[in-house]
Chains A and B, each alone.
Chain A
Amino acid sequence: ADDLVLNGDAKCTACHDEGDSPEVLKIGKTRHGVRADARTPSCTSCHGDSAAHMGYKGSAKPPAPDRSFGKRSLTPVAERNEACLSCHQKDAKRSHWEGSVHQARDVACTSCHEVHTGHDKVRDKQTQAEVCFACHKEQRTQVNKPSHHPIPEGKMTCSDCHNAHGSVGPKLMKRDSVVDTCYTCHMEKRGPFVHNHEPVSEDCSNCHNPHGTVVESMLKARPPFLCHQCHTPHGGFIPQLAGAQSALNTSTNTNTTGKSKINVTQGRSCMNCHTQVHGTNNPAATNPTPQFNFR
């Protein structure tokens, strides 16, 4: 018989042809189906020679191929992954797969990738996140909060920041650290500035949850509560709202200063005055100092 899809596939496609298993032939639509590339596999490259499967003559269900990749596969994950890595380990982007969280937790390549389809969900920006959410449940809820990166809209996806195949950075960050990953799009935060804000250059996730929050700018908590986790000034007040004050506003008795009560609760809160919290390059050596106001 002639090969149908892959070089040397005839031993399989003699049975698993378009009538028997049309879905498996869709591998022909993929990069694995580029037969002019001598490196591309045959069925047995991944599924093994499968002599017992091939040689079965009975009428019952034949034994499974040597390596199978479905949800109920009994093939050990490392063995399944070896079928992929035997070729793909040459890819520089996968140099840190060994030892990565996904590798150590027995995530199979086929847990995320579909090989026999022209549309591998995890390689499409619009559908990738739903593959990741199969395990990362908390993030599924977070991306639907009002302050989020445009992941539900399909304009960004998980792999814009994470390398699921392993990385040097924490949390499988695509670049070497959290801040370096964020700087790829938010380079204006890099500085260095005349007045730096130490937690900013340490780790953006000190203050932000990049997967989404109800607070503006993906802040993990609403200022002033966020800021007061570290900072002590402007004390002696309870956060309050215009229209919800136990002592009503008159011309002088409530907002006697600009840094208490509603002015640190509403508007942009602490950032009403401390504007450039990521750091400022204002060199002015005159009062009021740009250092504390980050202006």
Chain B
Amino acid sequence: QADAAELTTPDSTVSVGAGIINGGKRDASLMGQYNGRRNEEAVLQLDIDSTKRDDASGVVMIIKGRDLGLESRELSFAREKQGDWKYSLDYYELVRRDPRTLNTGLTGLGTTVNNVVPLAAGTTVGSVGKPGTGADQDFKLQRIGLGLAGEKWISSNLQFEVSFKNEDKKGDRAISRGYDCAAYVCGGPSNAAITQSATNQKYALLLLDEPVNSTTKQLEIKLNYAGQGYNLSTGYYGSFYNNANGSLRAVVPNLLYNPSGNLGTLFPAVPSTVIAGGGTSLQNVLQLPMALAPDNEAHQFYLSGNAKLAPSTNINFRYAYTHATQTEDFASMGLLGAPAGVSNLGGVVDTNLLQIGITSRPLPKLSLLANVRYEDKDDHTPEALYNVEGGEILPTTTPRTYVNRSWFNYRASSTKLTGKLEASYQLPADLRGTVGLDYTSYDRPVPVSITEEELAGLGAVRAKNEENGYRLELRRSVSETFTGAIGYSNSKRTGSDWTSLSNSAAFVNAGLGYGKTAPASQFIALNATNAFPMNMADIDREKVKLSANWTPTDALEVQFYAENGTDKNSTAASAVAGGKGWRETGSSIYSIDAQYALSEAWKLTGYLSQGVQDLKVNHSTGYLADIKSNSDALGLGVVGSPTGRLEVGANVEYLNDTTKYGIAASPTNTGAAASAANLQQAAVGLPDVVYQTTTLSLFAKYTLDKKSSIKAVLVSQQAKLNEWSYGYNGVPFVYSDGTTVSLKQDQTTNFFGVAYIMKF
């Protein structure tokens, strides 16, 4: 017979032990990103979970420490008198280790000035590169957090809450730097078109180290009032970001690798005869400072709550006003060249949010729900002429001539309105039917004139999107042991006419120059390969869901879930050239779970799931991509107690994710066959990306006596990532200074730990 006091007293345990990680850091780089088990070493296992309660006063003290012997440790302390007051303190460290290793000649790592040192056998033009001869660098990011919180019931209805959290983030992160000479920036003394050559570099790509040293602070102060049939909360939430590093600069030699692996000289600046004021050499472009994230802050004031309007009718609501600013001084960030008289962006974004929701049950069998949410984000940031680009003077001359053009910064205002109506009715035969209607609209600024602002790399943009949809669902409790549901949803996103971003002669002559609006079909008529951004395009969405839960006995439970959905781009497209940009996304998942209790002492669990994600993207002039990912997952587990003192468990999890990159060459604008070169390369295609993991976990816990036990854990993990970001088939992707990036493809890591657990 159990001891009543032991059953009703909060548990307190401390666990002390040691663990051994087997497999080097290259073998644990995938599975050891966050768990503190990246290196081959012995580690201290120390955990504490203590809850002490004074039954007379009701004061509870909780101390929790987890993974205290590892680099990702957590420790918290809380003391409270339930229903009266509480205060707490949390501390944590979280380390994320980049699974990839850089081999580089970079120096100045961890600082805001990286020195690029080519890995070359020699320092003159034509010297042969030596990738792989640099130093191995394993980057990591560490977060250290400290949280303080308190609450007090001032009266039986009024509660005061305050919380503060500070998080420091430090470490290194890989960041790129690259440039391909534009004719109006670098190229040579004349402005004739330039090409890559054996001796001259037209472009360069570098991989640098972004030093991370930032702090986030969050403060929330809240008053909660619980009245008779209503609740109100009002508060302030402030969030502050501070970055000790304002910019990153690379010191780059004038000799870098060309594609043949030999050192070549970087192209010089174009003279002022080509562009007003002259250009900048490729070396100098690469040395220009890169802006890191600026300090910013936001202050939110809010009122939210709910109320019972009638016995079966409730309302909830929230109003929030947020004032966000970004005013870090450019010079302090190490950034020069701001427009005259502008020392910082003066960024101000004010956001008003209003939400109201009503639920009601007017009839015992009928439930109704209505919800509306309105968010208006108003970017008040002042305008200045930040942007510049060389614009070619037309008609074209030989050599071509350019002039600098300037325009204003783009302000990211938006208005979003969402609404939902839902009715649910209890039908005969234990059926419950639900019908829902959904509405969303999103408004964003679009350029009116190219002299004000210019957006690049887009076919057209749209000031407004609207989406209307409906949902149907039937749920049925077939019996006490079987329940099931089937759901179908359908929605269509459309929007306003599209705004032109083209100033080509064809568009201007058709009255569709920059800033002018028209339906998509007119854009397609002028340019068969015009692409429309996926977050603005017309969409037809459809989804079917099916779920069932079968519990034939207390011992057995089986769950089945299936889902299939597609989002299709329904924007006008050329019948000849086909649609460009995002075309379609599809997803499906089939999953079965089961739990079976063999006896009171033994329990089995298992699941099998299969999912498919499909994405179709057509590039405007080059390729058609059909990217399909298949994810198969399996989990099997058993836990049991062969004797009164011994508990054992085993768990196996398997994941196989294969992505196939279907690449075809696209037809031309007129529908003619793709070029021979593109067809030839499409036949080579892109190889599959495969990710597989198998994790075996075993544990055994033996109870020595009422106060102590021993627990042993063995975790064996195998991971395989076969992909081609930084190399394929033994051919590395080499940066212009010889830097390469690697990741061991097949990895195995084991952890064995034993701990003594004591109750106190």
Q: How far is B296's CA from A215's CA once the two chains are assembled, in angstroms?
A: 29
Q: How far is the CA of A240 from the CA of B357 in the complex (A)?
A: 51
Is B233 within 8 A of A198, CB to CB? no
Contact of B623 among A38, A239, A243, A272 (CB under 8 A): A239
Contact with A along B1-25 (1 / 0, CB 8 A): 1111001111100000000000000
Contact between A243 and B731, CB atoms less than 8 A apart: yes
Interface presence of B457 (CB below 8 A): yes
Whether A244 contacts B414 in the complex (CB less than 8 A), given A168-B318, A236-B621, A275-B177, comes out as no
Of B243, B330, B375, B531, the residue contacting A177 (CB under 8 A) is B375
| A113 cross-chain contacts in B, Cβ below 8 A | none
Contact A225 B627 (CB under 8 A): yes
Interface size on B, residues (CB 8 A): 211
Who on chain B is nearest to A30 by CB? B10
Is the C-beta of A1 less than 8 angstroms from some C-beta in chain B? no
Within 8 A of B (CB), among A139-192: 140-141, 144-146, 150, 153-155, 166, 168, 170, 176-177, 183-185, 187-192
- Pick the contact of B4 from A18, A39, A241 — CB < 8 Å? A18
Is A267 positioned at the interface, with any CB of B under 8 Å from its CB?
yes
Chain A residues lying within 8 Å of B410, measured Cβ to Cβ, are: 195-196, 198
Beta-carbon contact of B11 and A29 below 8 Å: yes
- Min Cβ gap B486→A in Å is 13
Measured CA separation A273–B81 after assembly (Å): 56
Q: Which of B35, B241, B682 contacts A238 (CB 8 A)?
A: B682
Smallest Cβ distance from B127 to chain A, in angstroms? 14
Residues of A within 8 A of B429 (CB): none
Of residues 360 through 413 on chain B, the ones whose CB sits less than 8 Å from some CB of chain A are: 367, 369, 371, 373, 375, 377, 379, 381, 385-390, 404, 406, 409-412
Which parts of B132-184 form the interface with A (CB within 8 Å)? Answer: 159, 161, 167, 174-180, 182, 184
Q: How many whole Å from A105's CB to the nearest CB in chain B?
A: 8
B301–chain A nearest beta-carbon distance, Å: 12
A241 with B728: in contact, given A18-B3, A291-B456 (CB under 8 Å)?
A: yes
Quick check: is B510 within 8 A (CB to CB) of the other chain?
no
Q: Which residue of A lies closest to B72 (CB)?
A: A155
| Chain A positions within 8 Å of B489 at CB level | none
Minimum CB–CB distance from A269 to chain B (whole Å) comes to 8
A280-294 vs B: 1/0 string, CB under 8 Å? 111111111111110
- The answer, among A187, A225, A229, A291, for a CB contact under 8 Å with B386, is A291
A-B contact count (CB 8 A): 498
Closest Cβ neighbor of A263 among chain B residues: B205
User: Is A89 engaged at the interface, CB distance under 8 Å to the other chain?
Assistant: yes
Determine whether B696 belongs to the interface, using a CB cutoff of 8 Å to chain A.
no
Cα distance, A143 to B359, chains bound together (Å): 34
Known contacts: A25-B7, A144-B653, A238-B623. The answer to whether A194 contacts B687 by CB under 8 A is no
Q: With contacts A72-B480, A239-B663, A283-B337 known, is A192 near B180, CB below 8 A?
A: no
Q: How far is the CB of A33 from chain B (nearest CB, A)?
A: 6
Which residue of A33, A39, A231, A275 contacts B8 across the interface (Cβ within 8 Å)? A33
Given A232-B457, A257-B196, are A195 and B409 neighbors across the interface (CB < 8 Å)? yes
Q: Which of A38, A106, A202, A230 contacts B581 (CB 8 A)?
A: A230
Chain B residues with Cβ below 8 Å from A289 are 387-389
Q: Is the pair A251, B198 in contact by a Cβ cutoff of 8 Å?
A: yes
* CB-based contact A238/B663 at 8 Å: yes
Contacts of A285 in B (CB 8 A): 337-339, 385-388, 406
Report if A137 contacts B (CB, 8 A). Answer: yes
Cα distance A266–B726 when bound, in Å? 6
A287 touches B388 (CB 8 A): yes
The answer to the question of A99 belonging to the interface, with a C-beta cut-off of 8 Å to chain B, is yes
User: Which of A176, A240, A272 sits near B318, CB closer than 8 Å?
Assistant: A176
12 residue pairs of the A-B complex, CB under 8 angstroms, read A95-B233, A104-B367, A104-B369, A138-B611, A145-B657, A214-B629, A224-B619, A232-B620, A233-B456, A251-B198, A266-B728, A282-B291
4 interchain residue pairs of minimum CB distance:
A28-B8, A258-B203, A36-B58, A243-B731
